[in-house]
Amino acid sequence: MKTLTLVFILLSLCLLQSCTSSSSDSLCKPSAGWGTLVFAETGTLGSLFPHEINNAISQRIVSLIHEGLVIIDPQTLSIKPGIADTWRIDTSEKEYRFYINSNVYFHDDACFAKGKGRKLTIDDVIYSLTMLCNKNEHNTSAEIFIDQIDGAREYYEGKTPTVKGLIKENDSTLLIKLIKPNPMFLQFLATPAAVIFPKEAYEKYATNFTVGVGPFYIKQFPDKDTPMILCKNQRYFKMDEKGNCLPYLDTIKVYFNVNLHQQLEMLKNGKLDIVLNVDNETFTNFLEQNIDLFQRKDAPLKAISGFNITSSQVQHIMKSNLENVKINDMYQIDFRETKFNSDSLQTKNS
């Protein structure tokens, strides 16, 4: 783990962007929801290689920096466009055509010429999904896909050089052929394992890369008491319904190995903006001891009820000025449209 941390720190030094960088080629309007969101995780950060996700914490970080053909809405569990703007399923339900957004760029990184992230292509999609069907010790997700995509099992077993069910029809259209209909296929494509990454990153860093096309990129990796820092991807390709750039937030800071009681104290003292998955007993005790923080006219805190993967009720406690936090029972979070309300916008320097 020490070696992995060292590699991550060295990679972070190669990033050329900062949280205050800007882009002149964006198609959207600068959004007004800037700010820094700070939260903590109770456990450690595991592998960030998409095919080797081994805990929910890593899954949350991967979802911030990467994106696949489609994504899942944490609240409605519906499938939404990711890199693919639209898709069509034929009447046999075995052919899926994905129409790729033409304005998707990888994060700036030293793996690219002059450190500038290039435009994503259909070839990147085929490369990533082919790698997902590759047989190696770091791919723990292959079994989900190799018996679904036509030719994936043969590729996995080394019998063919390509996956015949992954077909480039033109520069913006990908055809995926399945062996048989599977109504859950889009859900599988929405998992972190199926995100799209560049060949250059894998060839330069092997499984220790974090280059993606997602709403944030990693600026600093955690070390002891210092947080992970993720900065807004200024060339992220999505916008809200009013044409404002997403994500709204400038920066996300994440602390690791912070127990729940410590997190609540940090929230109370203004060092965190949200505490996730607080069990009912802990929440009740915290509420009784700090009722004024929830009930007074200018109450700084609010709570949102939810459930966890064991179907036990939990509370997500956050600052009252925090809006649009999407989270579900599986601890999946979408921070793309999370923001601080307009009356309280401020950049935190802590």
Same domain as 127, residue 202: yes
Same domain as 145, residue 57: no
Q: How far apart are CA 156 and CA 176, in angstroms?
A: 17
Output the domain CATH number for residue 189. 3.90.76.10
Same domain as 201, residue 149: yes
**Region of residue 237 (left: phi > 0; alpha: psi -120 to 50; beta: else):** alpha
Same domain as 167, residue 75: yes
Same domain as 26, residue 86: no
Output the domain CATH number for residue 288. 3.40.190.10
Same domain as 73, residue 139: yes
Q: Which residues face 174 on adjacent strands? A: 98, 168
Burial label, 245 (beta-carbon count in 10 A; 0-12, 13-18, 19+): buried
* 174, 168 Cβ separation under 8 angstroms: yes
Last residue of a domain, one of 174, 190, 208: 208
Same domain as 96, residue 44: no
Same domain as 76, residue 57: no
Same domain as 322, residue 348: yes
Longest dimension (CA), the chain: 68
Same domain as 110, residue 183: yes
Half-sphere exposure of 301 (CA within 13 A, CB side): 25
Residue with tokens 């053909």: 69
Last residue of a domain, one of 180, 208, 236: 208
Q: Would you tell me the crossing angle of helices 260-268 and 280-289 to the nearest 10 degrees?
A: 30
Last residue of a domain, one of 146, 180, 208: 208
Same domain as 119, residue 95: yes
Same domain as 274, residue 160: no
The bridge status of strand 339-340 relative to strand 84-89 is: unpaired
pLDDT value at residue 224: 83
Domain span at residue 99 reads 69-208
Q: How many domains does the chain have?
A: 2
Q: How far is CA 48 from CA 42, 54, 62, 143, in A?
A: 17, 9, 6, 19
| Residue closest to 326 by CA, chosen among 31, 64, 30, 36 | 64
Query: Residues of the chain whose pLDDT is less than 50?
Result: 1-18, 22-24, 344-350
Residues 6+ apart with CB under 8 A from 171: 121, 122
